[in-house]
Amino acid sequence: MTDVRLLTRNLLSELQRLGETADTIYIVTAFLMRSGVRELLPMLQRAIVRGADMKIVTGDYLAITQPDALTLLFESLPEAEIRMIESGGVSFHPKAYLFGSSAGDSVIVGSSNVSKSALTTGIEWNLHAPSSASPLLFESAAAKFMELFLSPLAHVVNLEQIAHYREQYDRMNARLPFSREWEEAEELALTLGAAEKPDVVFERADDYGPVILEPRPAQALALQALNDSLAEGRTSALAVLATGLGKTYLAAFFAKSFGRILFIAHREELLLQAKASFERVHPKRSCGIVNGFTKETTADIVFASIQTLSMDRHLRQFDSDTFDLVIVDECHHVMAASYERVLAHFTPRFLLGLTATPERLDNKDVYSLCDGNVALSVNFFEAIRNGWLSPFVYYGVFDETDYSGLSFRNNRYDEEELLQLQIQTDYAAAVCAAWCKHKQTRTLAFCSSVRQVQFLSSYFAQKGVRSVALHGSSERTVRTTARERLETGQLDIIFTVDLFNEGVDIPRTDTLLFVRPTESTAVFTQQIGRGLRLANGKSQCVIIDLIGNYRTARSKFTVFTDQDLSGTATITSETLSLPGQWEFNFETAVIDLLEALKPKMNRKAELVAAFQDLKRTLGRRPTYLEYHLKADANARDIKQLFKSYPLFLQKADTLSELEEEVLTSYREWFVNVSTTSMTKSYKMVLLHVMLARGEQDWYKPISPKEAAAEFHRYLTAAPYRQKDWSSKKGKALLTYDETTVAKLIADMPMNKWSGSANGIVLFEDGLFSIQINPPAEHLAILFDWTQQICNGALHMYFERRSNEDFSIYQSTYTP
């Protein structure tokens, strides 16, 4: 390690020297100051001109980062990828500079943030380690950087996001202005969530025995849906299978009809688990790992870490057509934008997304990852009904803890404030009493933090309970032994924090204990799945859930029902139970609490709030289709509550003066085109044909024969669109004949739309026309909004048809 150097002065000159030849520049810093950005900017701009892969991550902790620094970076380096971590009050203190180059890589880690004094005259200590001193350090550090960069807490920096942060910055600094750079007595390691979220340790669960040759029933059902989706001409699909039904094996069986395969995951453990599963199904094909330490890029089936694959230097090793099938595992963890670089690079024959928990409230981009095509969805209720997972009994126990005074940021409670409530003896006694009353033999207990895990385990041990505390820092042998001891009955309970959410199973677990506020329905669903595995001697799973007045106490129950619980619905034992399958038991105090927590915000306001959040994420106003695919809300509610997307945009206070004028002039048209009934797709396909004529001419009259060719082309371009011609008469239309198609257009969309449009649409003398005559200044806006409505309506129509098809699969399938 003789090449490692300590840098105590003028770090800037070293950064400038390394940056001049780097093809990869990754910077993570606790905060950014405009003074520091100005010093680095010339070097960074020259690197961008050379085509360097540049990523910068900073944080909002204590609102020290200057909004002007973010603006300067964003406007000066439009090609760079800049993200900000929403810390939620959790300390954020990393300072690292990574430079990759064909001449050699370098990592600098130390105390210097991006400010002029820290980079030049300040007293700072930084270690510079070139690849000659530690060949693997850069790859390891880059992988860790990408974990941070792709974290759900890392928000893309754009002008919308900067404006949103500026409000926080002004508010915080008005109360507690920082006149000097950050200083604190103790540097704490970054924690990515409100609770400590250590790495999960992989211990492979052998669910199917030593050899897997045939799909299990749920997988066979899923394969039928996926193969049909492929036959329909789809190029991507989302497969939703409840935890325990074997998503990885499903992917392995589906992969049999493809050549080279790429499997992408967000954790090393999932890569190893997937590789083991695929090797059983494909014993004659080579399987290789691509991560920070291994680069087996020539294997038939490549299992790649997204952290590694996202780096330009590694992504460029693969041609765009290298893989026939790309699989994104546990895609509920990632925003589609985070995978955009990788997915945009490849042009596979098919893209498959796998998840157990695609709920929109947690995962706004999961659906857009596969263009909204959910080929199948089997939740744990359907799996229990079919005997594929264990029945359960749920006990909702009242938690007297008052969460109302806790700080709540970024969808989670302040870690330290929450902890002070959870390490009270009275609280531990209540938890223990509830567990003793309802438990069976083997329990997994899910907690909020390592300190809570340790506190509760110690308390239970003092009461004579055989307990153990497990977390990411526990020794691997301790974790493995604890799992075996619980499985064999030598332990009563394991207290853990996010250790058994995914990838690790103890099938004989028959009791789950929740002693944490549910902050994510996706995580809650994953954790429930840990107790639903079938096992010898296990008749049911018991779920013991302590419920207090935390913010998501009502919304968490959306994982148990299709009911809309956002409004006035009452949550009771009777409304959720299905005798013989699952049973709910709520204490009276819990029912009263859930009634008291009914939301105060109305549905319209929720839709607008989701719009504003997505607008900040995108850095611009989302289209109607983008709102449907990416917003934390249901876009179909827009038609019900606002009649059309332009009227919704008006409610969101986002229209210009000219747009307001256009909306007033053509309100009747926008409402009509948005709300017209769509038993088939024909009306919107006709409008699509008209829009294809361009901004200047789209609204002008059109005859059935003029529309026939493009109408036919659109509906036959993809097999899934041909379903509207599935009847015997319709199938005759698959072969193009202008007269026949023109007659269909005249009889169906033109006549039917005209007859129900109250004069805004007419079909007279063989011409279909929209009764508008816009001036030139209205054309662009009118065309754009009409096209948005048309595209959104067509997408949602065919999406609904696909979901209906899978319902048919479920009702007719027999093993």
Distance CA 530, CA 216 (A): 19
- Residue 68: which residues within 8 A CB-CB, separation 6 or more? 34
Nearest to 465 by CA among 448, 446, 490: 490
Domains 217-385 and 396-596 share a fold: yes
Distance CA 149, CA 145 (A): 6
Q: Is the separation of the CB atoms in 16 and 46 below 8 Å? A: no
Mean pLDDT of 186-215: 39
What was the pLDDT predicted at 210?
39
Mean pLDDT of 555-573: 73
Evaluate if residue 612 carries a pLDDT over 50: yes
Distance CA 605, CA 613 (A): 12
Evaluate if residue 191 carries a pLDDT over 50: no
Residue 185 identity: A
- Residue 799: which residues within 8 A CB-CB, separation 6 or more? 372, 373, 374
Pairing of strands 24-29, 95-100: antiparallel
Worst-scoring range by mean pLDDT, 155-169, 186-200, 424-438?
Answer: 186-200
CA 61 to chain centre: 23
Mean pLDDT of 170-178: 64
Q: Where is mean pLDDT largest: 327-336, 349-358, 666-675? A: 666-675
Q: Would you identify the CATH topology of the domain 217-385? A: Rossmann fold (3.40.50)
Distance CA 186, CA 703 (A): 75
Evaluate if residue 499 carries a pLDDT over 70: no
Angle, CA of 632, 635 and 640, to the nearest 5°:
130
For the domain made up of 396-596, the CATH class stated in words is: alpha beta
Task: Tell the residue number behind the tokens 């870490």, with chain if given.
Answer: 305
End-to-end C-alpha distance for the chain, whole angstroms: 62
Among residues of the chain, what percentage have pLDDT more than 90? 50
Q: Where is mean pLDDT largest: 8-12, 157-161, 220-224, 692-696? A: 692-696
Distance CA 11, CA 767 (A): 73
What was the pLDDT predicted at 135?
85
Distance CA 301, CA 491 (A): 39
Between 26 and 403, the more confident residue is 26
Q: What is the pLDDT of residues 631-679, one digit of tens each?
A: 878 888 999 999 999 999 999 999 999 999 999 999 999 999 999 998 8
Determine the number of helices (DSSP H) and then strands (DSSP E) in the chain: 32, 26
DSSP assignment of 729-783 equals: HHHGGGS--HHHHHHHHIIIIIHHHHHTSTTSEEEETTEEEES----GGGHHHHH
Q: What is the pLDDT of residues 54-74, one digit of tens each?
A: 999 999 988 889 999 999 999
Angle, CA of 249, 253 and 256, to the nearest 5°:
145
Q: CA–CA distance from 174 to each of 115, 168, 171 (Å)?
A: 21, 10, 5
Residue 598 exposure: Cα atoms within 13 Å on the Cβ side: 13
Q: Is the separation of the CB atoms in 19 and 56 below 8 Å? A: no
Structure tokens belonging to residue 74 = 């964003």
What CATH code is assigned to 5-175? 3.30.870.10
Q: Is the separation of the CB atoms in 493 and 432 below 8 Å? A: no
Phi, psi of 754 (to 5 degrees): -60, -35
- Give me the sheet containing 53-59, strands edge to edge: 5-7, 126-130, 106-110, 95-100, 24-29, 53-59, 81-85, 154-156
Nearest to 328 by CA among 244, 241, 265, 255: 265
Mean pLDDT of 571-580: 84
What was the pLDDT predicted at 773?
93
Worst-scoring range by mean pLDDT, 530-534, 699-703, 750-754?
Answer: 530-534
In the 8-state DSSP scheme, what is residue 78? T
Q: What is the pLDDT of residues 415-439, one digit of tens each?
A: 778 888 888 899 999 999 999 999 9
Residue 386 identity: N
Mean pLDDT of 620-627: 94
Distance CA 239, CA 216 (A): 15
Distance CA 85, CA 439 (A): 40
Q: How confident is the model at residue 815 (pLDDT cuts 50, 70, 90)?
A: very low
Structure tokens belonging to residue 782 = 């009118």
Helix (H) or strand (E) holding 576: helix 573-576
Evaluate if residue 300 carries a pLDDT over 50: yes
Structure tokens belonging to residue 465 = 């309970």
Residue ranges per domain, the chain? 5-175, 217-385, 396-596, 655-805
Q: What is the pLDDT of residues 436-489, one digit of tens each?
A: 999 999 999 999 888 899 999 999 999 999 999 988 667 767 777 888 899 889
Q: CA–CA distance from 155 to each of 249, 428, 786 (Å)?
A: 33, 37, 31
